Structure 1
Amino acid sequence: MTDLIDDTVRHRFEIHVGGGVAFVDYAVEGGRLVLGHTKVPPALEGRGVGSTLVRAVLDEARARGMRVVSRCSFVTAYIHRHPDYADLLVRGG
């Protein structure tokens, strides 16, 4: 896997894997990182790419001192499976 890329023009975090691009759309609202849709190309599904992406995004949010609002079921499920990230999640955001 490659490093996380913050595409500020498209407002998404990306990782490039095997010629494909997986991404999470985002917005910054009130100092919070609002995570929208997560997209993993079909050819990369089932290989842990989505989890790797979300982990990297959450690590980046922590490094920036930002809390996270999840509007993506995949991101929310990831945080529930990895409670060490629960402190980042804004509930009811």
Structure 2
Amino acid sequence: MLTLNDLNNCFDEAIQAGAEYIGVIVKNYEHKREEIIINHRDNFTFKKDYYNNAYNQDLQLNRVSHIRIIGFAYGFSFSDLEDAIQDQIRELS
């Protein structure tokens, strides 16, 4: 199971590699499908801080127990990110 540390590592790797985007897969267990949030590199530091404050170590949203981050990846273009996110979704299935 992924943890907040894994998400932080993803952000750190993306920053170091010069990635353009990070995609975060969020599952709301009251909905049929997950949602994908795309963060641009200009927001990486802000979004990393946000996730660290809003989610617990198990990637569950602090205020809402049925919302959890279930995957994430980074990419250098939208198509690159799409491929990485699709890989994550396939692994989850």
* TM, length-normalised to structure 1: 0.36
* TM, length-normalised to structure 2: 0.36
* Structure with the higher fraction of residues in strand conformation: 1
Work out which structure has the larger RCO, using CA pairs closer than 8 Å and 6 or more positions apart in sequence: 2
